[in-house]
Amino acid sequence: MNYVTDDTMNAYLRTVQPLFDGVLGDIQREAMAADVPIVPPEVARFISVLLTMQKPKHILEIGTAVAFSAGMMCQFLPEDGTVTTIDRFEVMLKDARVNIKRMGLEDKIKILEGDAANILPTLEGPYDVIFMDAAKGQYQAFLPHCLRLLRVGGLLIVDDVLQGGTIAQTRFSVPRRQRTIHKRLRNFLWDISHHEALETSIVPIGDGVALCYKKKEVEFKEFEEGETDDAEE
């Protein structure tokens, strides 16, 4: 995985901030050793602080992977709190189901299997926190649904938004095969930074985390490709 901060800084942060304890920590270590794409330790700790402050009851996650982040977020829920998590990759969901059982969280974590583009329109919400860590090229298309489902005063947390720092380069300086996702991510960052309903900060830890606070309700408008092309250079 590419990170915005250099290897020396990452190594230092991981000596200062320990991995999680218990079964959750075991899952974290196993995933890191196997290069399974989970949130890096410094991002996990950042989210932990946010959830401690937010005190959510219902969380929506887009991108389950092996259920490490879902399990981590469950630590900050009340007894009747829930995490609803979406993923379409059975190879990941197989391990996720095992890990959810290992953590004893079958009653708190609900997996919705399928493409988020198809599932999000069927959800009603509201959610206190939405955590998005999925296909980066789809973030912009998912945004209107996240805004509809997130309550006023809720947090939208989006991981991996800076493409290892290449997001700051022009699209002509990145490989041709990466230009579409580069363009879509730049447009997404523009949208969340200028949206009337959001107060947004883009934090350069891990591979970049976008933190958005929903200030007010807005009329739902489904994303159409090409709407924000002017955000690209």
Q: What pLDDT does 11 receive?
A: 80
How sure is the predictor about 180, in pLDDT bands with cuts at 50, 70 and 90? confident
Residue carrying structure tokens 């998590």: 85
The string of DSSP letters for the chain reads ---SS-HHHHHHHHHHSPPPPHHHHHHHHHHHHTT-----HHHHHHHHHHHHHH--SEEEEE--TTSHHHHHHHTTS-TT-EEEEEE--HHHHHHHHHHHHHHT-TTTEEEEES-HHHHGGG----EEEEEE-S-GGGHHHHHHHHHHHEEEEEEEEEE--SGGGGGGS-GGGS-GGGHHHHHHHHHHHHHHHH-TTEEEEEE-STT-EEEEEE-S--------TTTTGGG--
pLDDT mean over 191-219: 94
Domain ranges, ordered by start, for the chain: 7-231
Q: Please say if the pLDDT value at position 231 is more than 70.
A: no
Q: What is the side-by-side order of every strand in the sheet holding 150-159?
A: 109-113, 82-87, 58-62, 127-132, 150-159, 209-214, 198-203
Measure the CA–CA gap between 178 and 102, rounded to whole angstroms.
37
Question: pLDDT, tens digit, for every residue of 125-158?
Answer: 899 999 999 988 899 999 999 999 999 999 999 9
In the prediction, which pLDDT does 219 show?
82
Q: What is the pLDDT of residue 220?
A: 75
In sequence order, the 6+-apart residues with CB closer than 8 A to the CB of 13 are 5, 41, 42
Residue 225 confidence class, pLDDT cut points 50, 70, 90: low
Question: What are residue 110's DSSP bridge partners?
Answer: 84
Q: How far apart are CA 217 and CA 154, in angstroms?
A: 11
Is residue 232's pLDDT more than 50?
no
Q: At residue 229, does pLDDT exceed 90?
A: no
Q: What is the CATH number of domain 7-231?
A: 3.40.50.150
User: Two tokens at 30?
Assistant: 């196993």
pLDDT for position 66? 97
Mean pLDDT of the chain, nearest integer: 89
